[in-house]
A and B are shown apart, each in its own frame.
Chain A
């Protein structure tokens, strides 16, 4: 079947298999920043935004996204400059292996759009579905606080 999806502001008309998951489709199209870590909706590594809301692409049928807008980590990454969130992640050492980072960035972008001044509790609550095995989370919380501040001061 054929679906029309806008991915990172680009229109795609894609032939898909029935039952195909968005994670698969996106990676096949070259959006490799979308990570596969569990495929069972339990880790957050595959998070993308659909119409601005963070969604787990491993458990979303591509067919269900027909006519919608998808934004992946690639859509949040300018070649030249890093976003405040990306910058803060680097400065705080909040990315070790980096495998959880695309999902984290995409989710944190949604958080800061909804709530530009989150406190620590709100950050932890919003990002609770994004597992990270490397960092122990402390640096990631610090980074998002820092990014939020930088964005407010922008």
Chain B
């Protein structure tokens, strides 16, 4: 893979170092939560509501207390503390509208009782013997009807707080306008006014949600859990139970936002506190699919207008978002649908964004990679594509002409932040021109669009689509990451970070950053991450923040360690530090003397100015530099079935300097695949009672090997001055483009505009029939 040009000479950063946890993973070592067996552990199972909306009139567990059952807990037995499961920083921008267990159930799958037994069989038998008498309430299964005048009220609990208007099922509301969209639209030569839909999407990470809790020999409550946010989990568990605990995150089998919320942890902790015994809960695939979180389904009406020459003048995005039964991330995901899309087109004279986030009796929505941007960008980019075609100008040219450039800003950065005001920022790295222009060359765009699209004989159509995207890197002025470095007498270092590697490779890239600064190699850096008793704080893995925020924290810590090493060596050599430098695991002096890190720390341990070299640093960012992405899709459509195949998907990305090009490429490829999933396959289907029938990998189709054609990734030559070694974020943005790029390509092929994801073959087939007979 070609190296990216940077402003610094790099030895470790920007090289494809193998993952530091890779050897364990490829050997199938027991490194995941469920791989830990604790003697005497209870198996925990959750009884879930079969009704979408009901009040528990009575619940009788007496017959279920069969031999081998340790405890059964209902809403009467657990702390009645209102909270949000969202797993965000404090104070949370999500409403407090959830209890560990409640008298009311709000979707099919809502927790009713916690059963702890000696083994799974007993727990399951006991579960069937619990008698619950429900008063069934009318339910809202279609979020577009959540605000109907006769709609039932989902959250009538008096304790609720932070919810916008629960009496009308509105969890959050937001609106902002810059300039006057109405007036500007009147002046436009061309306008568009269309409605776009994006569906719920299941994270479908391979490892189901899992947690274990136990008292350690000294009586400290310890929780091992597949979480993206160990520190937030600890804080929230403390709020719920009034008990401080240690949270450990081992390896995680994927998260994608789905393990940011607090799902399993309160159940096992409740059991351990009640029984004193270790407790383990492993969700079934069905529970992971139906009773955790999903992407917020959204509807956006887009109005936009442009001049004959392709100057975009005004954009309005007005939306409705489905947060399901609870308001996890309701406001913030919705805002990101605007705040991480609209600044891309910063040259407009007026821009407006707003709408409601509503409750419904469906699986709660939550954080999901992209966090609203895929929803907003599907609407915005599709609309701009429509507008470009109306004007009769190449969509690449149109989007590029109106998009943001280095040195520019958008007022939206300041106006829209994480559920509150944001921060001003000037864009210091933006290679969107390179992405679009070089990308179109590699993709052969201008040659391809001259080709005929439809082969009526073969009944096959080909189409080409392009989509532009931006994201952020961290939540500025809120997200904090910490790092500790400790030098050992064998010349190695321990790097302790709160950052949460959920398969992304963050442990590896953080080690690379430390190794780069310390003139050593990754094998000399042992990383310990995500243990609330051992490692410094980190906000956790979300908001595209780990490389940028935790990476900067590690860089700061390593720079401080470098100073400490030089200082110690200067004392030893009796030479000012200006004459010393680090070089390949040693300190070198300009007079030819040198000392290895191992010798130096050994001396410091036993014989000379005795001390442990150890440093801790924290980092909070003032800005959130966006990465940029231009994606090109070629689709092949079988006109007799409506089946769409993504033959080629090229991503040209500006993520600054990729710290590890192989891992960065993997992030983009993986996000593209999930984006292709939401574009073509993935959708929630409910029966008439609100039960999700898409609850396993047969019914809920995630892309399989054969569904993906070619996914390619190219990196722009970019350097973000505020990032660690020029890096920006890379993990989320890839999900923003497949939806619009594929829809645009289908339009290009057939002249049929699909405004609702996923684009099902049968729906496309009917449209093809309508148009082509």
The residues of A that contact B28 with a CB separation of less than 8 Å are 32-35, 72-74, 77, 101-102, 105
B26 touches A95 (CB 8 A): yes
> Does B225 count as interface, using CB distance less than 8 angstroms?
no
A33 touches B27 (CB 8 A): yes
B665 touches A93 (CB 8 A): yes
A127 and B706 CA atoms in complex are apart in Å by 9
A133 touches B26 (CB 8 A): no
> Does B198 count as interface, using CB distance less than 8 angstroms?
no
A40 and B251 CA atoms in complex are apart in Å by 24
A95 touches B670 (CB 8 A): no
B34 touches A36 (CB 8 A): yes
**B203 nearest in chain A by CB position:** A133
> Does B672 count as interface, using CB distance less than 8 angstroms?
yes
> Does A137 count as interface, using CB distance less than 8 angstroms?
yes
**B696 nearest in chain A by CB position:** A40
A130 touches B30 (CB 8 A): no
> Does B266 count as interface, using CB distance less than 8 angstroms?
no
- 13 new A-B contacts, CB < 8 A, other than A32-B29, A94-B666, A97-B206, are A72-B28, A93-B663, A95-B19, A96-B254, A97-B252, A98-B22, A99-B32, A131-B697, A133-B204, A134-B666, A136-B669, A136-B671, A136-B711
A107-154: which residues lie under 8 A (CB-CB) from chain B?
124-125, 127-128, 130-141
> Does A37 count as interface, using CB distance less than 8 angstroms?
yes
A105 and B27 CA atoms in complex are apart in Å by 9
> Does B491 count as interface, using CB distance less than 8 angstroms?
no
**B256 nearest in chain A by CB position:** A133
B662 touches A92 (CB 8 A): yes
Decide yes or no: A98 and B26 within 8 Å by CB, A38-B697, A39-B285 being known contacts: yes
Decide yes or no: A39 and B284 within 8 Å by CB, A93-B19, A98-B503 being known contacts: yes
Most chain B CB within 10 A, of A74, A91, A94, A138, is at A138
> Does A89 count as interface, using CB distance less than 8 angstroms?
yes
Decide yes or no: A133 and B702 within 8 Å by CB, A97-B206, A99-B206 being known contacts: yes
* Residue among A34, A74, A91, A139 making CB contact with B669, cutoff 8 Å: A139
Decide yes or no: A91 and B18 within 8 Å by CB, A45-B206, A97-B207, A105-B28 being known contacts: yes
Of the A-B pairs whose beta carbons lie under 8 Å apart in the complex, a sample of 30, sorted by A's number, is A32-B28, A33-B28, A33-B29, A38-B696, A74-B28, A77-B28, A82-B23, A93-B19, A93-B662, A93-B663, A95-B19, A95-B25, A96-B254, A97-B502, A98-B253, A99-B32, A99-B205, A99-B206, A99-B253, A102-B28, A105-B28, A125-B706, A130-B705, A131-B206, A131-B702, A132-B206, A133-B204, A134-B206, A136-B669, A136-B674
> Does B708 count as interface, using CB distance less than 8 angstroms?
yes
State the 3 A-B residue pairs at the shortest beta-carbon distance, nearest first. Answer: A33-B28, A97-B503, A98-B25
B704 touches A128 (CB 8 A): yes
> Does B656 count as interface, using CB distance less than 8 angstroms?
no
A37 touches B670 (CB 8 A): no
Most chain B CB within 10 A, of A45, A90, A93, A105, is at A93
A96 touches B696 (CB 8 A): no
* Residue among B26, B208, B503, B708 making CB contact with A134, cutoff 8 Å: B503
A38 and B704 CA atoms in complex are apart in Å by 15
> Does B213 count as interface, using CB distance less than 8 angstroms?
no
The residues of B that contact A17 with a CB separation of less than 8 Å are 121
A104 and B207 CA atoms in complex are apart in Å by 15
**B121 nearest in chain A by CB position:** A17
> Does B172 count as interface, using CB distance less than 8 angstroms?
no
Digitize B495-506: 1 where CB-to-A-CB distance is under 8 Å, 0 elsewhere: 000000011110
**B505 nearest in chain A by CB position:** A96
Digitize A7-50: 1 where CB-to-B-CB distance is under 8 Å, 0 elsewhere: 00000000001000000000000001111111110110100000
A141 and B504 CA atoms in complex are apart in Å by 19
Decide yes or no: A98 and B251 within 8 Å by CB, A93-B666, A105-B26 being known contacts: yes
A96 touches B26 (CB 8 A): no
> Does B750 count as interface, using CB distance less than 8 angstroms?
no
Digitize B668-692: 1 where CB-to-A-CB distance is under 8 Å, 0 elsewhere: 0111111000000000000000000
> Does A5 count as interface, using CB distance less than 8 angstroms?
no
Decide yes or no: A86 and B18 within 8 Å by CB, A92-B662, A136-B672 being known contacts: no
CB distance from B658 to the nearest CB of A (A): 12
A138 touches B669 (CB 8 A): yes
Most chain B CB within 10 A, of A36, A89, A97, A132, is at A97
CB distance from B741 to the nearest CB of A (A): 15
B26 touches A90 (CB 8 A): yes
A36 touches B27 (CB 8 A): no
A37 touches B207 (CB 8 A): yes
The residues of B that contact A94 with a CB separation of less than 8 Å are 666
* Residue among B121, B207, B285, B706 making CB contact with A99, cutoff 8 Å: B207
B26 touches A37 (CB 8 A): no
B26 touches A131 (CB 8 A): no
> Does A100 count as interface, using CB distance less than 8 angstroms?
yes
**A31 nearest in chain B by CB position:** B28
A75 and B472 CA atoms in complex are apart in Å by 44
Digitize B250-262: 1 where CB-to-A-CB distance is under 8 Å, 0 elsewhere: 0111101000000
CB distance from B752 to the nearest CB of A (A): 27
A86 and B22 CA atoms in complex are apart in Å by 9
The residues of A that contact B29 with a CB separation of less than 8 Å are 32-33
Decide yes or no: A73 and B205 within 8 Å by CB, A40-B697, A99-B32, A128-B706 being known contacts: no
A124 touches B705 (CB 8 A): yes
Decide yes or no: A43 and B697 within 8 Å by CB, A96-B666, A133-B204 being known contacts: yes
* Residue among A40, A130, A135, A139 making CB contact with B285, cutoff 8 Å: A40
The residues of B that contact A102 with a CB separation of less than 8 Å are 28
B674 touches A133 (CB 8 A): yes
* Residue among B30, B256, B666 making CB contact with A135, cutoff 8 Å: B666
**B708 nearest in chain A by CB position:** A137
CB distance from B676 to the nearest CB of A (A): 8
* Residue among A77, A99, A100 making CB contact with B27, cutoff 8 Å: A77
> Does B50 count as interface, using CB distance less than 8 angstroms?
no
A137 touches B673 (CB 8 A): yes
* Residue among B16, B254, B285, B710 making CB contact with A97, cutoff 8 Å: B254
B708 touches A42 (CB 8 A): no
Decide yes or no: A90 and B708 within 8 Å by CB, A43-B697, A98-B26 being known contacts: no
A76 and B503 CA atoms in complex are apart in Å by 22
CB distance from B682 to the nearest CB of A (A): 11
The residues of A that contact B203 with a CB separation of less than 8 Å are 133
CB distance from B92 to the nearest CB of A (A): 27
Decide yes or no: A137 and B705 within 8 Å by CB, A82-B26, A99-B253 being known contacts: yes
**A100 nearest in chain B by CB position:** B206
* Residue among B16, B19, B207, B696 making CB contact with A42, cutoff 8 Å: B696
